[in-house]
């Protein structure tokens, strides 16, 4: 947030630590690319979209070794 003088104000640490945060769910794994091995994950609401992204990725994948990496296209 910018102040009147154009400088960013920083919130102090204690109010940020004391505010109640909504826990984020871990994304569900959709699948992995058969060519490079990258894993795709998405929330329950976006699973169908992520599945389409995985299929497109497999069609245009240049190859390589990316096993162990996780892509979350909508997060």
Name the 3-class secondary structure at 1. coil
In a domain, 49, yes or no: yes
Tens digit of each residue's pLDDT (9 = 90 or more) over 20-60:
777 777 889 999 999 999 999 999 999 999 999 999 999 99
66 lies in some domain: yes
pLDDT at 35: 92
pLDDT top residue among 13 and 10: 13
Q: Is residue 52 part of a domain?
A: yes
At 4 the pLDDT is 59
Do 57 and 41 form a contact (C-beta atoms < 8 A)? no
Q: Rounded distance, CA 59 to CA 62, Å? A: 9
6 falls within a domain: no
Residue-number span of the structural domain to which 39 is assigned? 23-71
Residue 1 lies in a domain: no
More confident residue, 31 or 8: 31
Q: What global pTM score does this model have?
A: 0.65
Number of domains in the chain: 1
């Amino acid at each position: 947030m910018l102040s009147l003088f154009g400088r960013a104000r920083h919130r102090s640490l204690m109010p940020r630590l004391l505010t109640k945060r909504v826990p984020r769910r871990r994304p569900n794994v959709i699948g992995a690319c058969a060519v490079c091995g990258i894993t795709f994950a998405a929330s329950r609401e976006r699973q169908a979209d992520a599945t389409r992204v995985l299929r497109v990725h497999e069609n245009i994948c240049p190859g390589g070794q990316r096993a162990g990496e996780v892509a979350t296209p909508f997060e």
